[in-house]
Amino acid sequence: MQSRSPKITIKMGGKTPDMTPPTVKSIPETSENDQNALEGSSVPSNNDRKETDENVLDVSSSDYSSDDEDKNKQMVVYDYSQNGSEPVKPVKKTKSDKPRVVSKTPPSVGAFTVQCANCFKWRLIPDQEKYEVIREHITDQPFLCETTRQWNRVVSCDDPTDIEQDGTRIWAIDKPDIARPPPGWKRILRLRNEGSSKFADVYYTSPTGAKLRSLPDVTRYFESHPEHAQGIGLGRFSFQIPKPLQKDYVKKRPAQMAAPKTPETLEPSPVEPLAWAGPVEKLDLQLAEPLSWAGPVEDNNGMPAYLKTPEFDPANQAAKKAKTDDSNHL
């Protein structure tokens, strides 16, 4: 096994001949977990959530070049994110005279991949169902290259990785050990567009076609359909969503403003910090690109050109808000 972490680099947004080696840095947040995963420790460090053996989804990015929206959108999932990197945000600068151009179609999951616990190479999983089977017991039954024999594929740790983080997709960390949906049920993961307040939504469709988006929903459903509740515990349902590696994919909630300390003076406190939420500053971020749905994973080789080197250093957040796009000019 490799000594150090295989690198994950996500690049997207700009096109840049790679002048820098793939930057591999640990993602601030995920990195610790990654470390843990690496060590095989199962203890999530400070984070309450255990994110040790996550899977990572990669939702496509896309290029932004032409007017035609033939972009990729894929999501890939793997296990053991033992590494991290600072994803480069798809910052697209445009004259934002327009408040915002909503309603782009959100990205979709394009592929599932799981990382071998030995060699850390990623193996594509043929379909969601197999992926869910693997994910369900990923902690107790770590995924290995040879696991692919389950679907008659012969691959070993000596073979090259199936897929790389090359900036053509958006990657996200999935939660481990999520139960498979009960028979007749489906678990649906809907991704949101970049800049949304959440990365994705999970819902379940029942055998009767009902769509449930929370545990209380499920409970209510079972109450009204006792006949379908047969031996199905709530433990079979999980609404946990994956976490994007791209740190800024999800818009952060503006910090709560502390209440003014001073009780009062006679002044009518003219102050009013407009809520000034982020549209402005984040603006560049939110024009990601017109994403569209790239097909299945097979084409993972025909990667569109938009690679950008992440000069972005996780360490210096400063750059974040500033124009990252300087570097982004086409």
Residues that bind DNA in the complex, under the rule CB under 7 A: 29, 49, 102-106, 190, 192-193, 195-198, 201, 211, 213-217, 239-241, 243, 251-253, 255
**Of 119 and 189, CB closest to DNA:** 189
* DSSP H helix total and E strand total for the chain: 5, 9
Cβ-contact 278, 251 below 8 angstroms: yes
β-pair partners for 136: none
Classified as helix, coil or strand, 38 is helix
User: In the bound complex, what is the minimum distance in angstroms from residue 325's beta carbon to DNA?
Assistant: 21
Cβ-contact 65, 177 below 8 angstroms: no
Residues in the chain: 330
Q: What DSSP designation does 248 have? A: T
End-to-end CA distance of the chain: 39
Q: What is the CA radius of gyration of the chain?
A: 21
Measured CA to CA, the distance from residue 202 to residue 57 in angstroms comes to 14
User: In the bound complex, what is the minimum distance in angstroms from residue 329's beta carbon to DNA?
Assistant: 27
**Of 153 and 190, CB closest to DNA:** 190
Q: What DSSP designation does 21 have? A: P
β-pair partners for 243: 173
User: In the bound complex, what is the minimum distance in angstroms from residue 239's beta carbon to DNA?
Assistant: 5
**Of 215 and 315, CB closest to DNA:** 215
**Of 255 and 271, CB closest to DNA:** 255
User: In the bound complex, what is the minimum distance in angstroms from residue 207's beta carbon to DNA?
Assistant: 16
**Of 163 and 170, CB closest to DNA:** 170
User: In the bound complex, what is the minimum distance in angstroms from residue 84's beta carbon to DNA?
Assistant: 13
Cβ-contact 93, 13 below 8 angstroms: no
**Of 216 and 296, CB closest to DNA:** 216
HSE toward the beta carbon, residue 46, CA cutoff 13 A: 5
User: In the bound complex, what is the minimum distance in angstroms from residue 195's beta carbon to DNA?
Assistant: 7
**Of 44 and 126, CB closest to DNA:** 44
User: In the bound complex, what is the minimum distance in angstroms from residue 18's beta carbon to DNA?
Assistant: 29
Cβ-contact 324, 86 below 8 angstroms: no
Q: What angle do CA 178, 241, 286 make, to 5 degrees?
A: 160
